[in-house]
Structure 1
Amino acid sequence: MEEGKIRKLEMKDISIEFPGVKALSNVDFILDTGSVHALIGANGAGKSTLMKILAGAYDHYTGDILIDNNMKEIRTPKDAKELGIGIVYQEVDTALIPYLSVAENIMLDVIVNEMKGEHFINWTSIHAEARKVLERLSIKIDTRKLVQDLTLAHKQMVLIARAIAEESKYLILDEPTAPLSNTETQDLFNVVKDLAYNHNVGVVFISHRLPEIFEICQEITILKDGQLVTRRGLEGLTPNQVVELMLGRKFEESYKKNDAPIGEKIFEVKDLSEKEGAVKKINLYVRAGETIGIAGLVGAGKTELCKTIFGGMPIEGGEILLNGKPLNIKTPYHAVKQGIALVPEERRKEGVLVEEPVYSNLTAACLSSFCGLLDFLKPHDEYKASRKMIDELGIKTPSEKQKVAYLSGGNQQKVAVGKWLMADADIYIFDEPTKGVDVGAKRDIFELIGRLAHMGKGIIYASCEFSEILGISDRTYVMYDGEIAKELVTAETNEEELLYFSTGGK
């Protein structure tokens, strides 16, 4: 293909159904090489589904796909790859092979092709080529390191590196910046711009972060409820107009904090350290009805702190107390039994059972309350309680028996939260709960946290989105390098101060 020649990819009248759900209805989409095109919509709008069709993940769709007005058949990932279409999925762990090295994951296609040809694999060359691709991303990762030992941010970069190594002419990025720090995000933007403008790649950029879209994209396609709302240039559009097109109604973007009465101290962590050193000498407390923020950049130790409190990482020393009583937490089982709930950052991997129905997920943390004689489960009671929770949380699903895998990211997150509401915990820990959810679902989650606070629960809210911390918390602990760098009264601070302390400021 000529390097500078613009090629047009078109999807026409694309429709697809899943059990009980019409996911897309006669959707059109156009992507030119040499451009960055935003694809957005509320959770459940059909963005990821449309792109999975383009990447060959779903073969039962109807409609046409054309490149330069020539009809193309894409029914498998192999079909998509042969046409130069690459995708970086939001769920990075499902797309990587954890027990292989960084180089093996990046250069997977080359290795497979050499094995098919019964050639000896030149491992020195494989690692050298992988390092070249990583250098383009300005990322320093040992190519011999196993993927299972990488951070979430580095796993994301390995996936992007693989797409670059495969020389994709159309690259789909599904929420690529969700696990990345501000610096890593800017590095990614530089790579995307380089691919689009210097290497004539067409990039589809799916994100709920509107400032990113306005920074890096030229055109936008908006979907709502599986249908096309508009396709147009971004020039002349405002973020508020984009939100209104996404939701189909006016939307007040800022969250008005629902101030709950704050009571006595109910939860405390004293000198808590994790065995591997990711969390060091942490001291914090939570009062009844209070929401505390755990602010920090990617890699600060927020997730490790949440997991250590919940029994997911081994404790080296320190105490965890609930209502003044020391807790013995060695595993998540002990945490749940003693009234602590965690909504984890990686919801599909750790927060929900994607291949199980909604009702099984919602009742998973309190199954004993649905057991009768001889501990047999009573499905009718499970269905009834699940339907009530689905209505309360506004979970969009055709029924409580729908597989969680078929729900949008925002609705999966609501299921992950609903599970703990049914279990009625005392302390709720939220780790990056709005990652990959739209502004409407984000507001729903904030309102839910407000309801929990009014019930006298203690809330721990960990996030690298400082605007969220400022909007929802009463006090904020800023983390840096596994330690609490500063404790602040949220109403008396701002984003600049949070950033200062989160970058090591004293």
Structure 2
Amino acid sequence: MTQTAAGLLEMRGISIAFPGVQALGGADFTAAAGRAHALIGANGAGKSTLMKVLAGAYGHYTGSIRIDGREAKIRTPRDAKAHGIQVVYQEVDTALVPNLSVGENIMMEKLVHEMKGRHRVRWGDIHRAAQAVLGRLEVSIPTRKLVQELSLAEKQMVLIARAMTTACRFLILDEPTAPLSQAETERLFRLVRLLKSQGTGIIFISHRLPELYEICEDITIMRDGRVVARGEIKDMTQQQIVEHMLGSKWEGQFPRRTNTPGEVMFEAKDIRDGDKVKGASLFIRAGEIVGLAGLVGAGKTELCRALFGASGQVAGELKLGGRRLAVASPHDAVRSGLALVPEERRREGVFVEETVTANLTVATLPQYTRLGAWLSAARERLAAGGMIARLGVKTPDGSARVANLSGGNQQKIAIGKWLLADAEVYIFDEPTKGVDVGAKRDIYELVAGLAARGKCVLYASSEVPEIMGLTDRVYVMYDGRIVRELETDRTSEDEIMLYSTGGTGS
């Protein structure tokens, strides 16, 4: 690829440190207008930190940023936007105002400017301007529809449209496909291709390697705060990419399991939750990993929440060890021996503003108290420290805020708190969503270890290779129903996908 200074974004020698950790050590990165550039690395590699420097979220870095060959002073988000740099983060809900309309969210900056200046807001003009942006992006969403009524994919489109209301030259997409179905991903890719054709440079952060080859021309791979490889993606194999990320040979993804499941321990009969879950029944043996497969929107998350008492309209029967359970709330579920690692870890799985120690011990606090009232900080730190070491969490120490950790390390903490609780039934809902291949392997080992200890595991995933590589049996969901039960070693990815899409196999 021949590059000139025009249309070129260059980051040179970027270094930044936080208390107890050197996050970046002289990282270089280059992106070109009209091309999609994949930025990948294991959790904690520094890719998110590098992009936050570019987006102006971290201003205390050393090094330089140049655009079109000229120095760009970026120390705040306002600076970044002034240079045409916009970000769409994975947690789209945190960037939108749910009770405002699509048009108001897209034109948010203009709206705020007019209201601050005490100008009269012409609402018709706001919606016409928003419709013009959506039209340019070939996106069809009513501008007067409330954002809270949109799907995740539509919310992403709204955020991308908002970015395009300014002179956006480089758009950073952080794990954009993690919550999307295949059809929604294809629609996003059509939009990305359109933006590239209009001259926008795309920086694409994703752990799904196949889609990088589909949408990206260039790739940069990071490890331990430094760039370890870069080039055109067509010149690298997936195995080479993984080995650069890990710094070692790839030895296979899924752990070898030798334990044999025992007797049926957990049973769920005719579970219903409005029109979300329509009479689902399943069972899990001691030491068994049972997959819950299905496309995004099939009802997997809703069934997991229903089993954990996290929905107030659930009907049906639960049994553990032959004993009927009364689970009307998550508190009841925990007392009954159930644990849930939810899909939305930042919203439901961890307290991002609290410390690593507080998060790991939150489900087992009574174990660290004296006389039922006095918390022993020393015992709490000891328990958390042991779990940090066991899980390989990359953190300076237990006092670090969870918000400052990578997604994979946050997920390990969401799992670790339940390992300390020593539950009997572990429910995992998309546990590797937005997690790199190295952290995925760690999570698979944790799940297999639970089964080896005789625990019951329900593993919900829309990633069929995960289901095939990790589970003993699989239930397939479609439209809120379990439509098929399969033995994993007697089925195939094609068969699982057939039932996931409503096929009958006849």
Shorter-chain TM-score bucket reads over 0.9
**CA separation in 1, counterparts of 2:338 and 2:128?**
47
Does 1:252 find its partner at 2:275?
no
Match for residue 48 of structure 2?
A: 48
| 1:139 CA drift (Å) | 5.7
Task: State how far apart, in whole Å, the 1-side matches of 2:204 and 2:426 are.
Answer: 33
Q: Distance in 2 between matches of 1:302 and 1:120?
A: 47
Note if contact 2:255-2:444 (Cα within 8 Å) is conserved in structure 1: no
Q: Distance in 1 between matches of 2:85 and 2:96?
A: 18
Aligned residue for 1:403? 401
* Deviation for aligned residue 1:167: 4.3
Evaluate the alpha carbon distance shift between residue 459 and residue 153 of structure 1 in structure 2; reply closer, same or farther with a 3 A threshold: farther
Aligned residue number for residue 501 of structure 1: 499
Q: What is the CA–CA distance in structure 1 between the aligned matches of 2:306 and 2:137, rounded to whole Å?
A: 32
| Residue in structure 1 matched with residue 57 of structure 2 by the alignment | 57
Measured against aligned partners, the alpha-carbon deviations of 1:201-238 in whole angstroms (never above 9, x if no partner) come to: 11101111111111111111111100111221123210
1:426-453 CA-to-partner distances (Å, cap 9, x unmatched) read 1101111001111111011001101100
User: How far apart, CA to CA, are the structure 2 residues paired with 1:139 and 1:285?
Assistant: 43
Q: Residues 440 and 191 (structure 1 numbering): CA distance in 2 closer, same or farther, change over 3 Å?
A: same
SS at 1:395's partner residue? coil
Q: How much does 1:100 deviate?
A: 2.5
Question: Partner of 1:200 in structure 2?
Answer: 199
Q: Distance in 2 between matches of 1:472 and 1:106?
A: 42
Give the deviation of 1:119 after TM superposition. 3.1
8 Å CA contact retained: 1:480, 1:503: yes
Q: Does 1:27 align with 2:27?
A: yes
The equivalent position to 2:362 in structure 1, one of 355, 364, 369, is: 364
Give the gaps of 5 or more residues in structure 1: none
CA contact (8 A) 1:260 1:450 kept: no
Return the offset for 1:148.
3.8
Q: Deviations over 1:315-350 (max 9, x none)?
A: 342112222222222211111111111111111111
Counterpart Cα distance in 1 of 2:135 and 2:425: 43
Equivalent-residue separation in structure 1 for 2:340 and 2:138 (angstroms): 34
SS at 2:309 equivalent:
coil
Paired with 1:291 and 1:155, the residues of 2 have a C-alpha distance of: 34
Structure 2 residue corresponding to 1:478, chosen from 476, 479, 499 = 476
Aligned to 2:154: 154
1:88–1:160 Cα contact (<8 Å) kept: yes
Structure 1 range deviating more: 136-145 or 424-433:
136-145
Quote how far apart the aligned CAs of 1:5 are: 10
Alignment of 1:60-71 (within 5 A): 60-71=60-71
CA distance in structure 2 between the aligned counterparts of 1:165 and 1:259, rounded to whole angstroms: 56
Normalised TM-score (structure 2): 0.95
Say which SS state the counterpart of residue 165 (structure 1) adopts: coil
**Alignment correspondent of 1:313:** 311
Residue 259 of structure 1 deviates from its aligned partner by: 3.7
Quick one: structure 1 residues 378 and 267, their matched pair in 2 at CA, closer, same or farther if it must change by over 3 Å?
Answer: same
Q: Which residue of 2 aligns with 1:212?
A: 211
**Taking every aligned residue pair, what percent have the same amino acid on both sides?**
56
Matches within 5 A, 1:62-461: 62-131=62-131, 133-134=133-134, 141-196=141-196, 198-275=197-274, 277-461=275-459
1:402 partner amino acid: A
Asked if the contact 2:5–2:69 (Cα under 8 Å) also holds between the matched residues in 1, the reply is no
Please state how far the C-alpha of 1:135 moved relative to its aligned partner.
Answer: 5.7
- What's the CA shift string for 1:30-78, capped at 9, x where partnerless? 1110111111111100111111111111111111111112111111111
Q: 1:46 to 1:500 in 2, by over 3 A?
A: same
| Structure 2 CA distance for partners of 1:337 and 1:454, relative to 1, 3 Å | same
Query: Match of 1:371, as an amino acid?
Result: T
What is the Cα deviation at residue 121 of structure 1? 2.5
Deviation of residue 17 (structure 1)? 1.0
2:60 partner amino acid: H
Q: Which amino acid aligns with 1:414?
A: K
| Inter-partner Cα distance in structure 1 for 2:385 and 2:65 | 39
Q: Which runs of 5+ in 2 are unaligned?
A: none
Report the CA distance shift for 1:312/1:251 in structure 2 as closer, same or farther (over 3 A): same
Aligned counterparts of 1:369 and 1:160: Cα–Cα separation in 2? 47
Cα pair 1:259 1:450 within 8 Å, conserved: no
Is the contact made by 2:301 and 2:343 (CA closer than 8 Å) also made in structure 1?
yes
Question: Distance between the aligned counterparts of 1:394 and 1:462, measured in 2?
Answer: 24
User: C-alpha deviations, 1:223-255, integer Å up to 9, x for none?
Assistant: 110011122112321000011111111012431
Letter in 2 for 1:296: G
**Contact 2:137–2:194 at 8 Å: present in 1 too?**
no
1:477 and 1:65, CA in 2 relative to 1: closer, same or farther beyond 3 A? same
Could you tell me how far apart the structure 1 residues matched to 2:391 and 2:489 are?
28
Q: Which one-letter code corresponds to 1:435 in the other structure?
A: K
- Counterpart Cα distance in 1 of 2:89 and 2:418: 27
Distance across 2 between alignment mates of 1:280 and 1:157? 31
For residues 493 and 132 of structure 1, the distance between their equivalents in structure 2, rounded to whole angstroms, comes to 49
Cα pair distance change 1:355/1:119, threshold 3 Å: same
